[in-house]
Amino acid sequence: MNVVFLNQFERLAAQGQPEEQAHVYIGEQQGVWSAGWKPADSASASEADLWYEGMSWEELLASFRHGIAGKMRLGFRPLIDGMLEETPFWDRRPSLPQLLQCYADLQPPNEMADKLRLWRRSKASEEKKSAFLIATNRELHMLAVYLPRTMEELLEIPGFGKLKADKYGGGLLAVMKDAEREHPYPLESWVPGAVSAEQLSEWLFRLKEDKYGKTLTDVREKRSLLFAIRDGKSLEQLEGDLNCPRRSLVERIEKLDEEGYDVLPIVEHELAEISAEEIGKIESALGELGDKYLKPLLRKVYGDLKTNDQETERQYEKLRMARIRFRRVSRTAV
């Protein structure tokens, strides 16, 4: 194996002396990439971890970063800095929002968080929007931990600016008004002292690990989808094989097309199930209205929106597939 990259990691003991040492590496042999972790102590060779082996550079990098974040969360630090970003964040002065989020995440869930989620669900249903657009799970957890009682206190919670506080603050404060709390406001008077450097470091690296773990999952799912498209599978087959809703599949296929991947096999397969007359209407609407917005195309081709959500969803699916082919033909013609 040809070693392309090598870096040493150390975890220090309480006395400041190296307790454990290991190496991370990226290697290549006959076009096959590999990345992993090797303890420097030969007696610990069984703890070696192969993070990736294959031909995808994109998946290798995602696996490499995810593995590094996990090791750094456990206290290992690199001999050469900048493994995950240019300026190591453990050397920076943490911001107050970071400290507030970290402290809240260290606290266990409580009953107030459940009450706030019930309020959010009701509000989302009332406004006919996704619950996370009203407040994220993390924001609700911070509210349950810090229990603001006034609009001024609510504004101290990360994620609650004036517009959001004005719109939802009254309802949120009403849910929390009778809850007992033991800490004072302003939060900056005590939270920074309640979070140790070790707790903050572990929390920051856990966020990195989660981030790169999601990236790795996305890369692997993209690879699986591309292989399935190459093999000539239909949307119905992909829905079962990948355990993914049809709408999400179509959106991901559109994204793959934007990235330059060949998705025409599945597009042509799905469009072949549509009548020539319907395809003609869709292509005529695309030529007249353009391909930027789907709702005008839907009205042009199918008339007023139907009350049947399933039927409307199927119509959007047809438009998305036809739009992919329309854009591909347009790019080819230029």
> CA quadruple 282, 285, 290, 295: dihedral positive or negative?
negative
Which one of 25-34, 46-55, 128-137, 148-157 scores highest in mean pLDDT?
Answer: 148-157
* DSSP-derived secondary structure letter, 40: S
Q: What is the mean pLDDT of residues 245-254?
A: 91
pLDDT single digits (tens) 50-81: 999 998 898 999 999 999 999 988 888 888 77
- Which residue type, as a one-letter code, is found at position 173? L
Q: Specify the range with the lowest mean pLDDT, choosing from 14-23, 30-39, 207-216, 303-312.
A: 303-312
pLDDT greater than 50 at residue 23: yes
pLDDT single digits (tens) 78-136: 887 766 654 454 456 789 999 999 999 999 989 999 999 999 999 999 998 889 999 99
Give the confidence band of 241 by pLDDT, cuts at 50, 70, 90: confident
pLDDT single digits (tens) 172-229: 999 999 999 999 999 999 999 999 988 998 999 999 999 999 999 989 989 999 999 9
Sequence-ordered strand ranges (E) for the chain:
2-12, 18-29, 32-39, 49-54, 77-78
Q: Look at residue 13 in the predicted model and tell me its pLDDT.
A: 77
* Percentage of residues of the chain with pLDDT beyond 70: 93
**Distance of alpha carbon 42 from alpha carbon 50, whole angstroms:** 16
Q: Look at residue 333 in the predicted model and tell me its pLDDT.
A: 65
Q: How far does Cα 320 stand from its chain's mean position?
A: 23
Q: Look at residue 311 in the predicted model and tell me its pLDDT.
A: 86
196 CB neighbour count, 10 Å cutoff: 11
313 CB neighbour count, 10 Å cutoff: 14
pLDDT greater than 70 at residue 307: no
Q: Output the DSSP codes for 155-196.
A: TTSTT--HHHHHHHHHHHHHHHTT------SSGGGTHHHHS-
Beta bridge pairs of residue 62: none
Q: Specify the range with the lowest mean pLDDT, choosing from 8-22, 189-203, 292-306.
A: 8-22
Q: Look at residue 44 in the predicted model and tell me its pLDDT.
A: 63
Q: Look at residue 187 in the predicted model and tell me its pLDDT.
A: 97
* Percentage of residues of the chain with pLDDT beyond 90: 66
Residue 243 backbone zone (phi > 0: left; psi -120 to 50: alpha; other: beta): left
Whole-number mean pLDDT of the chain? 89
Q: Look at residue 85 in the predicted model and tell me its pLDDT.
A: 59
**Distance of alpha carbon 79 from alpha carbon 91, whole angstroms:** 14
